[in-house]
């Protein structure tokens, strides 16, 4: 059974502390939306779908924290909480999606008591729907892989990046559940090592055959026929198929293209941004210490300049297909993505 990353219980939010993995599986409990904001910022919780639900749960905590009996005051309080939560990680569109969806629910409610109930109910529903969406996505994507395939993945787009089951790893899970024998190659994903700390941990936990490689061995494994396909998640997908995902995704996709290996992206429709152009997307820049050391060990000289983007953009011409809960988009993406959203209505 896959891990459950986040849940609502007794008017509190319970999360797996992903900064402690793989050494220990620890859970933290939050009762304040500011704690949720800090958890998102410090990567206690990460992954686009997971932080979307985390943002929603943050607003659910906020309605309980504000003891006003005035509707306008409560909405103002929620707007401020939304702003604080949004500023934590600007690249992942799911966070904006989750926050705005909950705010619409709040504004459409009548009384203060109705706002509190409807916001909490909507956040809990969002979490439950995330699991079902991931399972639908997994079923759709499992048809793309064959028995005895070895599938490469980058970063962590599994149960730990969602409420449960996962996007890219959800496809891998569904492929295995369909009876196919598969193996996985996980990149370590420097500098925060989501591949080695999270993906390898998660797949081993579920009994899925996984091998870990350094990021620098992507070309080697592909050139030596060790990879049959690649699947990754996404933090934002634009209307023409540009995919923003964990730094290093672009070079994995480029290598896959060079070696004629299919490269797939798995993401829910909530990850799509149909309004922005590539140049509009803010790329989060992370702290230098992630690059200049591993844990408490320094690996670079003092004062060295560091460029540490959290994400990069993979252009649509490198992508074989985008797997969603509504089906699989294929090139040309401006047409196929539009059809996926039409099917959603």
Last residue of a domain, one of 135, 163, 180: 135
Distances (CA, A) of 193 to 21, 136, 190, 230, 324: 10, 28, 5, 18, 26
pLDDT score recorded for residue 306? 98
Instruction: Name the catalytic one among 147, 235, 296, 302.
Output: 235
Distances (CA, A) of 132 to 89, 109, 163, 278: 25, 26, 10, 30
| Chain-centre distance for alpha carbon 180 | 25
DSSP 332: S
Averaged pLDDT for residues 82-92: 92
For 310, the domain range is 137-344
Q: Kindly report the number of other CB atoms within 10 A of residue 45's CB atom.
A: 26
Q: Is 280 a catalytic residue?
A: no
Residue 199 lies in a domain: yes
What's the mean pLDDT when you consider all of the chain?
A: 96
Contact 172, 182 (CB under 8 A): yes
User: Comparing C-alpha atoms, which of 128, 206, 120 is closest to residue 164?
Assistant: 128
**Statement: residue 50 has pLDDT above 70:** yes
Report yes or no on 1 lying in a domain: no
The pLDDT of 284-290, averaged and rounded, is 96
Same domain assignment for residues 184 and 300: yes
Does residue 80 lie in a domain region? yes
Cα 262 from chain centroid? Answer: 21
Based on the fold, state whether residues 220 and 106 are members of the same structural domain: no
The H-assigned helical ranges of the chain are 33-41, 48-65, 71-86, 93-108, 112-142, 168-177, 194, 200-205, 218-223, 249-258, 289-292, 333-344
Residues 123 and 152 in one domain: no
pLDDT, position 3: 83
Is the same domain home to 248 and 292? yes
Listed residues 79, 106, 135: the one ending a domain: 135
Q: Any idea how long the chain is?
A: 345
The pLDDT of residue 1:
60
Burial class (CB in 10 A: 0-12, 13-18, 19+), 298: exposed
Question: For the chain, what percent of residues have pLDDT higher than 90?
Answer: 96
Report in angstroms the alpha-carbon separations of 344 from 234, 270, 325, 340: 19, 11, 9, 6
Tell me the pLDDT tens digit for each residue of 174-222. Answer: 999 999 999 999 999 999 999 999 999 999 999 999 999 999 999 999 9
Q: Are residues 288 and 193 in the same domain?
A: yes
Is there a single domain that holds both residue 106 and residue 148? no
pTM of the model: 0.92
Q: Domain total for the chain?
A: 2
Residues 39 and 45: their CA atoms lie apart, in Å, by 6
């Amino acid at each position: 059974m896959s891990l459950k990353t986040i849940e609502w219980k007794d008017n509190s939010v319970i999360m797996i502390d992903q900064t402690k993995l793989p050494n220990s599986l620890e859970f933290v409990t939050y009762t304040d939306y500011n704690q949720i904001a800090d958890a998102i910022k410090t990567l206690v919780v990460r992954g686009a779908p997971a932080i979307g639900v985390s943002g929603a749960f943050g607003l659910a905590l906020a309605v309980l924290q504000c003891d006003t009996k005035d509707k306008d005051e409560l909405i103002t309080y929620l707007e401020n909480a939304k702003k604080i939560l949004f500023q934590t990680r600007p690249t992942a569109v799911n966070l904006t999606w989750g926050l705005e969806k909950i705010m619409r629910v709040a504004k459409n409610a009548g009384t203060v008591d109705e706002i509190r109930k409807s916001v909490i109910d909507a956040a809990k529903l969002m979490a439950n729907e995330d699991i079902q969406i991931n399972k639908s996505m997994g079923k759709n994507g499992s048809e793309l892989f064959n028995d005895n395939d070895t599938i490469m993945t980058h970063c962590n787009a599994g149960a730990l990046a969602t409420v449960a089951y996962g996007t890219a790893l959800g496809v891998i899970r569904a492929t295995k559940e369909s009876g196919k024998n598969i193996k996985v190659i996980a990149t370590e994903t420097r500098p925060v090592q989501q591949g080695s700390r999270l993906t390898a941990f998660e797949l081993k936990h579920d009994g899925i055959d996984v091998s870990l490689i350094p990021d620098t061995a992507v070309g080697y494994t592909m050139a030596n026929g060790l990879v049959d396909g690649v699947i990754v998640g996404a933090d934002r997908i634009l209307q023409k198929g540009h995919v923003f995902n964990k730094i290093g995704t672009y070079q994995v996709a480029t290598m896959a293209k060079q070696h004629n290996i299919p490269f797939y992206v798995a993401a829910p429709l909530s990850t799509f941004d149909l309004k922005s152009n590539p140049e509009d997307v803010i790329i989060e820049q992370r702290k230098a210490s992630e690059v200049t050391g591993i844990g408490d060990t320094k690996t670079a000289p003092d004062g060295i300049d560091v460029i540490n983007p959290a994400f990069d953009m993979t252009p649509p011409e490198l992508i074989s297909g985008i797997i969603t809960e509504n089906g699989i988009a294929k090139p040309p993406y401006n047409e196929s993505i539009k059809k996926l959203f039409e099917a959603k209505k």
